[in-house]
């Protein structure tokens, strides 16, 4: 078979056998799939040899680009020792070293706060890190003799993953509503979505009114609420919705006031995306539990951690017969290959001064956002560091969104693809989230392709 036939055969096999995530397969099978074979730096190559700029970091995971020498070597070296052994009843070297590094990192990020995070619980993807956090919080209160805390609180527009616990605390209707009857009790608080404020108010005059609403819920139900889970600074999958300054700090204060654990879901925001190692650092909000995944291995391998405070950990200690054990764990928990990749990734942050070097690129992004807000069908632009969203609207004056059937976000993405850029929108929101290591030149290429995609798809000038 020639290359073309071979590729067409692969396409056929893909259509025949793969059920793609978050994908309407009826549409997928009518299109030509892009099949990736190779990656280098911030680019990915398809089977026909066409290169695309990886504008969403391979779903928000990639930090240093593809085929990063140091991470490749760390994985290969680990492979020479052992690929996997379990953390149930055994330990392994990279998992131990990584746990220490993560705790030292959290400690310095949170300025050596006395109630900082001190224990690492491993799992293998963002959703499981959230499940762990929820179960940990729930069981913690039981051990403290508090039997009433059987519910959670979270935000409208929240996204914490796709397992049922994570969906229970989710708030994105199109993803989550279908599962309503399966979900546990969660109090939903208003999303700090200033552009479409649920109360029709404006920041800063509103004095962050949505925090008052959150407090109302806490005041009324704190006896029931084990924990409040939040994506700090930016609700990512809900539409890159950034919270106003002071909101996160306010959340931390309210959780403390009402004896509710604060779970920070830093799965999307962690590892430098917001311009600091963790988003919580921006407002000095030290969470009781923190979930990390995605960028932890530089985008190489599935790995996640749930960090907890000493106070939480201690509540689980006792004789075995007391059944205070945290009965949770996965087959690939603490996988040595993934931990080796994560160690290399953390070394790279130091060696390459990734976060310091990001600041100039964040400014380029911000300037570009200021420019595109002038386009006819751009209703709102927002960013938390290097995570940005451009919300497209049919009518700017009335903020009327494009009808879902118009697939405007997707149309923009397809136009950008013509210019060699791969992006994946969230409905009408164009997501910009390239690898942190992207060069200024490639960042500009990405932004120009998106701008021209918006102009062409919306007909805006
Ligand atoms: N939490 C947040 C904030 C996320 O953005 C995501 C993934 N987009 C998850 C949890 C779930 O992670 P995973 O897809 O690895 O299960």
Ligand 1 atom nearest 304 alpha carbon: 15
Using the predicted structure, report yes or no on whether residue 460 has a pLDDT greater than 90: no
Instruction: Convert the pLDDT of each residue in 310-344 to its tens digit.
Output: 999 999 999 999 999 999 999 999 999 999 999 99
Q: Which residues have CB under 6 Å of ligand 1?
A: 125-127, 130, 159-161, 231, 236-237, 265, 267-268, 293
168 C-alpha to ligand 1 centroid (Å)? 14
Q: Does the model's pTM come out above 0.75? A: yes
Mutate to test the pocket of ligand 1, among 159, 384, 424 (most ligand atoms within 8 A of CB): 159
268 C-alpha to ligand 1 centroid (Å)? 6
Ligand 1 atom nearest 302 alpha carbon: 15
415 C-alpha to ligand 1 centroid (Å)? 27
302 C-alpha to ligand 1 centroid (Å)? 12
Instruction: Convert the pLDDT of each residue in 406-422 to its tens digit.
Output: 999 999 999 999 999 99
166 C-alpha to ligand 1 centroid (Å)? 9
pLDDT interval class at 461 (50, 70, 90): low
Using the predicted structure, report yes or no on whether residue 176 has a pLDDT greater than 90: no
**The pLDDT of residue 1:** 64
3-state secondary structure the chain: CCHHHHHHHHHHHHHHHCCCCCCCHHHHCCCCCCCEEEEEECEEEECCCCEEEECCHHHHCCCCCECCHHHHHHHHHHHHHCCCCCCCCCCCHHHHHHHHHHHHHHHHHCCCCCCCEEEEEEECCHHHHHHHHHHHHHHHHHHCCCCCCCEEEEECCCCCCCCHHHHHCCCCHHHHHHHHHHCCCEEEECCCCHHHCCCCCCCCCCCCHHHHHHHHHHHHHCCCEEEEEECCCEECCCCCEECCCCHHHHHHHHHHHCCCEEEEECCCCCCCCCCCCCHHHHHCCCCCEEEECHHHHCCCCCCEEEEEEHHHHHHCCCCHHHCCCCCCCCCCCCCHHHHHHHHHHHHHHHHCCHHHHHHHHHHHHHHHHHHHCCCCCEEEEEEECCEEEEEEEEECCCCEECCHHHCHHHHHHHHHHHCCEECCCECCEEEECCCCCCCHHHHHHHHHHHHHHHHHHHCCC
Ligand 1 atom nearest 166 alpha carbon: 10
Ligand 1 atom nearest 163 alpha carbon: 16
């Amino acid at each position: 078979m020639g290359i073309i036939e071979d590729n067409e055969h692969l396409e056929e096999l893909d259509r025949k056998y793969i059920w793609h995530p978050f994908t309407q397969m009826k549409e997928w099978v009518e299109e030509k799939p892009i099949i990736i074979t190779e990656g280098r730096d911030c680019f990915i190559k398809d089977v026909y040899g066409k290169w695309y700029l990886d504008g969403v970091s391979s779903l928000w995971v990639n930090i240093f680009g593809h085929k990063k020498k140091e991470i490749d070597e760390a994985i290969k070296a680990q492979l020479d020792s052992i690929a996997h052994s379990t953390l149930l009843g055994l330990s392994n070297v990279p998992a131990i070293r990584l746990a220490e590094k993560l705790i030292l990192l959290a400690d310095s990020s949170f300025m050596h706060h006395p109630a900082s995070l001190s224990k690492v619980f491993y799992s293998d993807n963002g959703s499981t890190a959230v499940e762990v956090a929820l179960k940990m919080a729930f069981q913690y209160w039981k051990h403290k003799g508090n039997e009433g805390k059987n519910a959670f609180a979270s935000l409208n527009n929240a996204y914490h993953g796709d397992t049922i616990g994570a969906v229970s605390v989710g708030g994105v209707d199109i993803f989550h509503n279908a599962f309503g009857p399966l979900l546990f009790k969660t109090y939903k608080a208003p999303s700090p979505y200033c552009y479409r404020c649920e109360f029709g108010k404006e920041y800063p005059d509103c004095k962050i009114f949505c925090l008052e609403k959150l407090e109302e819920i806490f005041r009324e139900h704190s006896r029931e609420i084990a924990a409040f889970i939040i994506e700090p600074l930016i609700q990512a999958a809900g539409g890159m919705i950034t919270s106003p300054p002071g909101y996160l700090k306010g959340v931390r204060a309210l959780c403390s006031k009402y004896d509710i654990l604060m779970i920070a879901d830093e799965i999307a925001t962690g590892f430098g995306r917001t311009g600091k190692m963790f988003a919580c650092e921006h407002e000095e909000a030290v969470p009781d539990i923190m979930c990390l995944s995605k960028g932890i291995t530089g985008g190489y391998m599935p790995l996640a951690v749930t960090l907890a405070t000493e106070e939480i950990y201690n509540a689980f200690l006792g004789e075995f017969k007391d059944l205070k054990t945290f009965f949770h764990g996965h087959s690939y928990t603490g996988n040595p290959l993934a931990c080796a990749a994560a160690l290399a990734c953390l070394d790279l942050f130091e060696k390459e001064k990734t976060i310091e070097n990001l600041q100039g690129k964040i400014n380029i992004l911000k300037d570009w956002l200021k420019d595109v807000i002038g386009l006819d069908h751009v209703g709102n632009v927002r960013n938390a560091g290097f995570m940005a969203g451009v919300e497209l609207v049919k009518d700017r004056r009335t903020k009327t969104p494009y009808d879902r059937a118009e697939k405007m976000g997707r149309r923009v993405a397809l136009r950008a693809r013509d210019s060699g850029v791969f992006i994946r929108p969230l409905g009408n929101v164009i997501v910009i989230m390239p690898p942190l290591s992207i060069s200024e030149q490639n960042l500009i290429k990405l932004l120009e392709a998106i701008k021209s995609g918006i102009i062409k798809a919306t007909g805006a000038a």
